[in-house]
Structures are given as C-alpha cells and as structure tokens.
Amino acid sequence: MINFHKVSCTFGSPDAGVKNISLNIGDDDFLFLVGPNGSGKSTLLRLIYMDCFPDSGIVKIKNFRSNKIRQKDIPKLRRNIGMIFQDFRLLPDRDVYQNVAISLYISHYKAGQIKKAVHEKINQLNLGHRVHYKPEQLSGGEKQMVAIARALIKDPIVILADEPTGDLDPRSSIEIIDELYKINQNNRAVIVATHDYDLVKRVPDAQIVSLKDGEITSII
C-alpha cells in the first residue's frame, strides 16, 4: 500500500533527511521506525504525509505518487492518513469532544453523524468521563488518547505516530502502544517512530526498520 522506491530527501544538505530508501508497507503491517536523533524517522513520516517531497525516487501511497500529485489532491491523500504527534497538538480552548470532532466539522458532516462517530471513538478509547474536559485538565496519557481518537475519526487506512509516547510514563506508554496494536488488529497499517525499544518488544510480529544517518541499516 505504501511504497518507497530509492527515495532521497535531503533538504539541500548532504547530511540531512533520508537517502536511498526502498521500503514496502502492507495494508495490515505494524512497523516501527527506530534510530537515534536525526536519523530520519520524522522525515520518512513526513514523506508519507507528503509534507515534504523526494529530491529523487518516488513515494507511492495507494494511487497517490509523490512525483505526480497536484497540490489540490494532497488533502485527498491525507484523508487516508491519521497522524499522531508527540506533542499531541490539541486545540487548547476546545474540549475533548470538539477536538475529536474537528475534522468532521471541517468536512461538513451532519450533526447527528458527528455525534455518533465522536461518542463511539471517545468510548472506545475510554475517555467517556473526560468528554467535556479541556486539554489542560487532562494527563499526558489522556491527551495522547484524544489525539488517537482524533486521528481515527475518519477511519484512515494508515496511522502514523511520531514518538507518540515520548513524554509519557511507562504505564501510559504501554496503554498507547496497546491501543495502536488494537487498531492494527482491525486491519489498519500503523507506523510508529520511536526511541523506546521496550515498546518495540510489546508488539508481536512488528517489522522494525532501523535508520542511521538517513539510511536504512536493517529491516527485521
């Protein structure tokens, strides 16, 4: 479903970004991107989200190709992708319900449809008792669960998570990774960039792509 063919993206500097990446990611894969700071994990996720583009090579996601896509089709691509960030990126002045619903409001879904979908996701992620809390009233783990609910609300085919447990304690980190694993068991591809090898060990059968200096050093 996602295919990197000899992709380099170096931001104009030979020691930045990623180099010569070839990688196939299937519909129901769980894939970890691991490697030290600056090894290219976030760049790979940004290439999938088409937030940056290769200098050479092609990234393909379903029928979207990095060398052919038009600016106006990028939102269509992104509808297929749920993105989760380390720093959550929730709207501070909105409650949990509104944060999860936001993309449905923007796409003009009907009020009844929004209510049903949002409550379903909020309950699925055990946030029912927090529905009218603002982000500042939530713990880090709860904020990340809200970010996951928001990423899932449009039923994307792939979830990208960039260090989703970076600032969380071990127990919350395990809850987050277990939640991502459940999503994967529901036939969604999940790609997680992380430093944390304990988390990697928690997911049976995950593929582990190791990066160093922008290049893949191993795939296991």
Q: Which parts of this chain interact with ligand ATP (CB under 6 A)?
A: 11, 13, 16-17, 35, 37-43
Task: Select the binding partner of residue 57 from Mg ion, ligand ATP, none (C-beta < 5 to 8 A, by kind).
Answer: none
CA distances from 153 to 8, 67, 79, 119, 210 (A): 32, 29, 10, 10, 30
11 interacts with, out of Mg ion, ligand ATP, none, CB within 5 to 8 A per kind: ligand ATP
Are the C-beta atoms of residues 173 and 199 closer than 8 Å to each other?
yes
Of Mg ion, ligand ATP, none, which one sits near residue 17, judging by CB under 5 to 8 A according to partner kind? ligand ATP
Partner whose binding site includes residue 186, from Mg ion, ligand ATP, none (CB under 5 to 8 Å by kind): none
CB nearer to ligand ATP: give 130 or 164. 164
Distances (CA, A) of 143 to 83, 91, 109, 129, 189: 14, 11, 24, 13, 22
Residue nearest to Mg ion (CB): 42
42 binds Mg ion, rule: CB under 5 A = yes
* Residues forming a β-bridge with 7: 21
Q: Rounded to whole angstroms, how far apart are CA atoms 188 and 181?
A: 9
Residues forming contacts to Mg ion in the complex (CB under 5 A) are: 41-42
